[in-house]
Structure 1
Amino acid sequence: MLRRHLLLTLGGVLALSGAGLAQDAPPQPDIFLFAYDADNDSDVLSDGRNVTDQPRYDNQPFFTKDSATFLYVRDDGEQIDIYEYDIAAGTHTRITQTPENEYSPTPSPDNRTISMVFERNGSVWEIERSAPDAPRWVFEAPGVVEPVGYFARNFATGEALYWSRFGFNVAYRDADGGNHFVSGHAVPSTPHLIPGANEFSFVHRQTNEQVWIKAFDPETKAVRPLAPIVGTNANYTWAPDGSILQIEDNKLHRWREGGDGWEEISDLDAHGIEGGYRIAVSPDGERIAIVGMVAAAN
C-alpha cells in the first residue's frame, strides 16, 4: 500500500483515474539529474540525463553531504531496496537486499549510516553502511505507535519530525526519544530540516482548505507559515541558499523569503520529462534530481 501511495501523489500527476492509463500498469518514474544554475534568468536546469533508465519504479533521491552521490529506492522486481548513484562514475550500487521494502533513504552527514522507513513495522530504522544486513530501530522506545510515512532527522541534535501514515499528522521526536504531537491535517509530504536552522518544515492543510508549507521550532514548539504550495503537489525541497523548490504542472517553481512569491524557473517539458513531481537539491547547490517520466514521443 505504501508503494501505491507514493505513486499516486497529491498532485495527481500519476493518478490512474482520468489519465487514460491501465489500472494494472501505472507509469514507472525515473530520476533525472541536472546541473542547477540558480542565477540563470531563462532556465536554471541544463545537461539533464535520465540516470535510472530502467522499466521499474525509481524514486526518492537524497544526496549525500559531499554531493558526490545520491541514494534512492528502486523496484528490482521482487521488492523495493535502497541503491546509490555515483555521479562522477555513472554507476549504481545496491545498498540493501532485505525481504521487506525500504523507503525514504536518508544518509547521515558522516555518510556512515542510512536511515529509512522500513516496511517491517512501518517505523524508522537505520543501517551501518558497513553492515547493511543488520538494520536497527531509530524510533524504538518509547515506540512510535502509528506507522511513519515520511520523516526528517536532525543528526546534530538527535531530533526528528515525522508524518503519520494513518493519523495524517506530524509529530516531533525529541533527543531523548519522547514523541510530541505538532499538528493534525498534515498533508502526505516529506518533512525537511531547514538549511542553516534547527527548525523543521512540513505541509499543513488549514481549516480554510489552503495548503501551506510551515516551519516548526523544536525549542519553542511554535509553528509559523512560510509559503502556500503551488497548485496541489505537496512535494517540495529546500536548496542550500534557503529557497524552496516545487514542481507543479510539470514546471519547476522557486520561492525565496522576502521575494514576490513563487516564480517559474524551468519548464520540464523542454527537458523531455512529463509528470515531474519530486525533487532533491545537492548540498553544494550545483545539481538537482527530479523524479518523473520520460516524455512520450510526439
Structure 2
Amino acid sequence: MMPKKILFCLLALSFSLGALAQLPRTNIYLFDVKQGDDGKLSFTTPRFLTEFNRNGYNGDPSFFSNTELYISVKRPGDAQTDLFRLDLEKKAKQRVTETPENEFAPERMPEYYSFSAIRLEQEGRDSVYRLWQFPVNQLVDGKPVFKYLTGIKAYFWLNSQEIVVYKEEDPSTLSIVNTTNDKITTIATNVGRCFTRLPNGNLAFVQKNRFDDWKIMEKNLYRRNE
C-alpha cells in the first residue's frame, strides 16, 4: 500500500472558540502513514511545518490539494488569527488573510475555485461567528455564505449546496443547511464539536449525555429524517 500523508497538530488541545485571545501554543507536523499487511499503521518521514511560528498558535490544517495546506495562525504579538497557505512541495508559505477579524477553519469548497472560513466579527459589544467564502485566486473580496445565519463554530461541505454546521447553543446542534434557501435541517442535538464524514458517506459525531457515557454515533445522510 502506498504511503499517505497525515497531519498532527501538537499540542492537541480542545478549546472554546469563544476564547481566541487565549489560544494555546500549538505546532503542526506532517507524516507519511502506511498500513502494513498486519493492519498496523507506521508513521515515517516527519516534517515540522510551523517552524516560522513555533511559539504561537497553529491550527485547523486543511488540505486544498496534495501539496497545498491552509492553516490558521496567530503569532506572538498578533491580535487575531489569520489564514496561511503552505506549499508543501516548495516549502514556502503565503499569508492569505490580514484583517482586523479572526479567521479560522478554512475548507476548500466543492466547486474548487473558492474556499470558506469562519470569521469572528464584532457587532457592537457582541462577537458574531459568520461563515465566509473567498476566491482561491484572491482577485476579489470575500462575502458571507449566508445572509442571516450566524453562530457557526464548526462545519464541513457535503456538496456545493449543503453544509453540515455545528452551533454551540444550549443544547448544541448539528444541522444540514442549504446555501440556496438557508433551510436548516437539525439532525442531532447535545453533540460535541468533533464530527466527520465516513468513507461510506455517513456522518460520525459525538453524542453527549449528562447522565451517561458519551457515544460516537453514525448517521445515514441519505435517510436524514429517521
Q: Quickly name the TM-score band, shorter chain normalised.
A: 0.7 to 0.9
1:149 and 1:165 in contact (8 A); partners too? yes
1:224-263 deviation line (CA, Å, top 9, x unaligned): xxxxxxxxxxxxxxxxxxxxxxxxxxxxxxxxxxxxxxxx
2:110 and 2:157 in contact (8 A); partners too? no
1:54-111 deviation line (CA, Å, top 9, x unaligned): 21100010112x3211111000323101111111111111111111001110012454
Amino acid at match of 1:173: V
Aligned alpha-carbon RMSD (Å): 2.7
Does residue 1:170 correspond to 2:174, yes or no? Answer: yes
Match of 1:28 in 2: 25
Provide the C-alpha distance between the structure 2 equivalents of 1:196 and 1:68, rounded to a whole number of angstroms: 26
1:87-142 deviation line (CA, Å, top 9, x unaligned): 111111111111100111001245421111111230211111223762211122xx
Aligned identity (percent) is 16
Match of 1:63 in 2: 63
Q: Secondary structure at the match of 2:89?
A: coil
2:164 and 2:174 in contact (8 A); partners too? yes
Provide the C-alpha distance between the structure 2 equivalents of 1:25 and 1:129, rounded to a whole number of angstroms: 29
Match of 1:181 in 2: 186
2:155 and 2:163 in contact (8 A); partners too? yes
Match of 2:220 in 1: 217
Higher RCO (C-alpha 8 Å, min separation 6): 1
Give the structure with the larger strand fraction. Answer: 2
Distance 1:39-1:108 versus aligned 2 partners, 3 A rule: farther
Provide the C-alpha distance between the structure 1 equivalents of 2:117 and 2:217, rounded to a whole number of angstroms: 23
1:216 and 1:222 in contact (8 A); partners too? no
Distance 1:132-1:60 versus aligned 2 partners, 3 A rule: farther
- Structure 2 residue runs of 5 or longer lacking an equivalent are 1-11, 16-20, 122-127
Match of 1:194 in 2: 198
Aligned residues: 198
Match of 2:130 in 1: 123
The residue correspondences of 1:1-12 to structure 2 (distance < 5 A) are: 9=14
1:96 and 1:132 in contact (8 A); partners too? no
TM-score computed with the length of structure 1 as normaliser = 0.59
Amino acid at match of 1:155: N
Q: Which runs of 4+ in 1 moved over 6 A?
A: none
Provide the C-alpha distance between the structure 1 equivalents of 2:22 and 2:185, rounded to a whole number of angstroms: 40
Once the 2 structures are TM-superposed, how far is the Cα of residue 43 of structure 1 from its aligned partner? 4.7
Q: Secondary structure at the match of 2:142?
A: strand
Q: Secondary structure at the match of 1:187?
A: strand
Amino acid at match of 2:36: D
Distance 1:113-1:155 versus aligned 2 partners, 3 A rule: same
